[in-house]
Chains A and B, each alone.
Chain A
Amino acid sequence: MDETTFQVDTRGAFSMPENHKFDAGFGLTEATIDYICDAKGEPDWLRQFRKDALKKFNEMPMPYHWAPEGIRNVDFENFRYYLSHGATPSRNWDEVPEDMKRTFERLGVPEQERAFLAGVDAQYDSETAYTNMREELQKQGVIFVNSTEGLKEYEHIFRPWFGKVIPVGDNKFSALNHAAFSGGSFIYVPKGVKLAQPLQAYFRINSESMGQFERTLIIADEGAELMYMEGCTAPQYDSATLHSGVVELVALKGAKIQYVTVQNWSTNVYNLVIQRGLAMEDAEIRWIDCNLGSGLTMKYPAVVLQGRRARGEVVSISLAHSGQLQDTGARMIHAAPETTSNIVAKSISIGEGRASYRGEVKVLKGMKGCKNNTECDALLINTASRTDTYPAITVNGNASAVQHEASVSQVDEEMLFYLQQRGLTRAQAMSLAVNGFINDLVKEFPMEYSVELRRLIDLEMEDSIG
């Protein structure tokens, strides 16, 4: 099989001319933070909070250890930290500025909203351009706003949980996000409210050298249930773009949160995202994660199982083609007895692509009856493809069971031969085989996304086989 370059979904590969009311310029200093705070009209405590975080960010070393090499190339001076039209999102597509509206229309966001979503939050560079939610949900007390509005209007709910799941000093990128965050969603689902339809966020980077630092906090009160989906795209520029979001989930007693990501950034984007959820008693958090784009992804969705019988799950698909390093994985911290977790990760490496699984499973001292199951499977398509697995498992005590399994394989020649003999082209056969490999995981995605995923993978396979 020849290794050829491969084209990602081209739907997101366009850009609009830059037209910003606010531009904080390159680099991150106290002056940048003042600029962001002024532009957003933030209270003093938040300004101080950001500045403290900046201090921490400057003090902390880059996480070179237990991290892929590519992270050394990130240069924080070369990014723009705040670009926006203003901090107030529109509630109606007609009010959204023309170029943004056209962008999201091309990406199909409004039509999806009409079709099957309960609410949408569309972020364009640093700020949310549009947020809306169905009226009946508002009546039930569901809050779905962007993070700026969340801090302003719902400080009493937002602030107690803000930075609690992922503290400022967790790592350098967490400090960076605390200093420069803007955009992202704040969601609160009241006790017992179960959302039948998913909420969606769409992240779009339009400008060159943009640094996007969205901040999402989702709180599901006792017995609440919701599904949140995010999609990401950016145009291809010569200079690098940084996406360093922080996502915090809080599932209180008996709550259920499903968080679905389909990431299709262009390959000039560093995708360094911190996602962590806190699951209380009988709660369940599921991360469903699909990484198709970006040049370097470092993303390890985590669940801290804080209450008895809490359950965490990570389902992850990643696809690495030439020039991409998908360093993805999962973390499960069993901090309460009888907690269970499951990790299923599948990766596909095409051309010179490299896909890595990096994971951590920890059963703390004295925790009884914890169970974890981890499976990672890798598929290699070309001779130059690479895959790695780096799990770290720590078990304390004799009352928990943890198992990890990984396998690496290539597409069976006999299978391809059989399909070709039945009249399929080699590319079709390969595509079918790859789809078969991830089939059981694709099913985990909502219908609309799984159709999309299949289409993307078909497209890629067409291009990658010479």
Chain B
Amino acid sequence: MDFPDSMSMEEAFALAEAEAKLNAALAESKARFENAVIPDRLNEDWRFGRPHKYARELAELLQSNTPCTGSAEVQGCDEEAVIINADDDDLKQTEMLMPTIGSDALLGLHLKRFGNGYALYLEKSYDSPIIINYRSSGLYTPSTFIMAAPGVHAHIIENIHCENGATIFAARNIQVAEGAKLKVELHAFCPGVEQVQGRCMVITNVQNMGGEVRHLTNFLNLDWAREETVAEIYAEGSDTQLYSSNTPLEHMVLDQHTRQVHHVGKAVSNLLYKNVLEDKTTATFAGNIYVAPGAHNTDAYQSNRNLMISEYATVNSLPGLEILADKVRCSHGSASGPMDEEQLFYLLSRGIPRHEAHQLIALGFVEEVDNKFNAPF
């Protein structure tokens, strides 16, 4: 290793140590991908997720010769947005180190197709939202890296257009430095109602180093959507909020997995996932709050609410807690139930037709998520 002459002995040691640590982590990560198996029915993180169908079909597609076809564009941010190219080792390493929730094998396959998507190095604040659009009508594997420097304020909207039965598998890494305030929205959808519905899987890793971050996901009009979001809290005083609101329709299978990992204490995390289930949809939510040993004075909350509209819909909810520290305040809640008859009666008695009343109540139900996400910092 070469060190510049200006570097002091301590700095050189620190740098060498950091490099050794990184190399060890990368070696571990390499082993992780080599040993990983395509998710099957024994994979606990794919419980209720139908891995024999969705994971296997996605893996087969990724392993096949099908090329990645898709487009990426950014609006509202010019010089700080960089198109990722396949040789960018730093970004590739970042993706290699990303945790998944039961899908290491799939992330390994994603890495083999690395080289699509955008990296945002946010050094200054933005008043208006930055919009990223990924579009494909075939197979596409974009990566998104968002790095917010200390004190930066920004709002990022990421749209994934799954056109005509496309399969889009995205990996996202969001790093929030001290004092940064970040809002990140993800919308994955099939743009036309008459189109064949596509599939979308998103692996997200939020690393909070002392800032405030709000993360929102929304999946609409798809055949299958799987979300794996791991929020890691590395600094005291940080605030991490995870939101999602979905109204799946027809036969959509929505499979959401989250983890709130508190490595250090005195930090806050909060999660609110709300779904309105219609038709023959299935929604699975599996969340976990992990409080590491010694992460005292943690405040962590998790809430999953499902409004069941259709008698053919199914919801699976697995809210989990793993607490290895004390002096923590943690709670989770999960509730699934039908529409409130009294609310419905009230609207009907005011002359609103039944189906409109249903829509109004459903809208009101998910609105809470949008309100909390959009509330001023």
Contact = CB atoms under 8 A, between A and B. Distances in A.
Contact of B334 (A381, A384, A388, A393): A393
Interface in B303-341: 306, 308-339
Q: How large is the interface on B (under 10, 10 to 19, 20 to 34, 35 or more residues)?
A: 35 or more
B363 to A, nearest CB: 17
Contacts of A399: 308, 311, 338
Given A66-B47, A392-B316, A397-B312, A408 B335 contact: no
Contact of B296 (A383, A386, A389): A383
A434 to B, nearest CB: 14
A406 interface: yes
A398 B338 contact: yes
A410 B326 contact: yes
Contacts of B277: 398
Contact of B321 (A365, A381, A385, A389): A389
Contact of A386 (B324, B329, B331): B324
Contacts of A395: 306, 308, 314-315, 317, 336
A394 B42 CA distance: 19
Contacts of B337: 400-403
A66 B44 contact: yes
A393 B323 contact: no
Contacts of A406: 319, 321, 331-333
A399 B277 CA distance: 12
B316 A394 contact: yes
Interface in A399-435: 399-410
B339 A404 contact: no
Contacts of A65: 42, 44
B320 A388 contact: yes
A378 interface: yes
Contacts of A387: 321-323
Contact of A382 (B313, B318, B326): B326
A400 B327 CA distance: 36
Contacts of A385: 326
Contacts of B76: none
B48 interface: yes
A365 B337 CA distance: 14
Nearest to B293: A384
Contact of A408 (B47, B308, B315, B321): B321
A394 B47 CA distance: 12
A382 B324 CA distance: 10
A393 B316 contact: yes
B318 A390 contact: yes
Given A386-B324, A410-B327, A410-B328, A398 B311 contact: yes
A410 B323 CA distance: 11
B47 A392 contact: yes
A386 B313 contact: no
A1 to B, nearest CB: 9
A397 B313 CA distance: 5
A393 B318 contact: yes
Nearest to B286: A392
A398 B310 contact: yes
Contacts of A382: 326
B331 A405 contact: yes
A397 B331 contact: no
Nearest to B48: A394
Contacts of B322: 386-388
Contacts of B42: 65
A378 B324 CA distance: 12
B12 to A, nearest CB: 37
Contacts of A390: 318, 320
Nearest to B335: A403
Contacts of A366: 311
Nearest to B291: A408
Nearest to B318: A392
Given A403-B337, A406-B332, A391 B314 contact: no
A197 interface: no
A404 B332 CA distance: 8
A138 interface: no
Interface in A1-29: none
A403 B334 CA distance: 6
Contacts of A394: 48, 314-317
Given A398-B308, A399-B338, A410-B328, A388 B323 contact: yes
A195 B52 CA distance: 51
A391 B48 contact: no
A407 B331 CA distance: 4
A140 interface: no
Contacts of B328: 380, 408-410
Which one of A365, A399, A403 has the greatest number of beta carbons of chain B within 10 Å? A403
Interface in B258-305: 277, 293-294, 296
A239 interface: no
A396 interface: yes
A409 B312 CA distance: 38
A398 B313 contact: yes
A188 B313 CA distance: 41
Nearest to A413: B327
A395 B283 CA distance: 10
18 contacts: A384-B293, A386-B323, A388-B321, A388-B323, A389-B319, A391-B319, A392-B48, A394-B316, A394-B317, A397-B314, A398-B339, A400-B308, A403-B335, A404-B319, A404-B332, A406-B333, A410-B326, A410-B328
Given A391-B319, A393-B336, A403-B334, 9 more contacts: A393-B317, A394-B317, A396-B313, A403-B336, A404-B332, A405-B333, A406-B333, A407-B331, A408-B323
Interface of A: 65-66, 365-366, 378, 380-410
Q: Which 4 A-B pairs have the closest CB atoms?
A: A401-B337, A398-B308, A407-B331, A403-B335
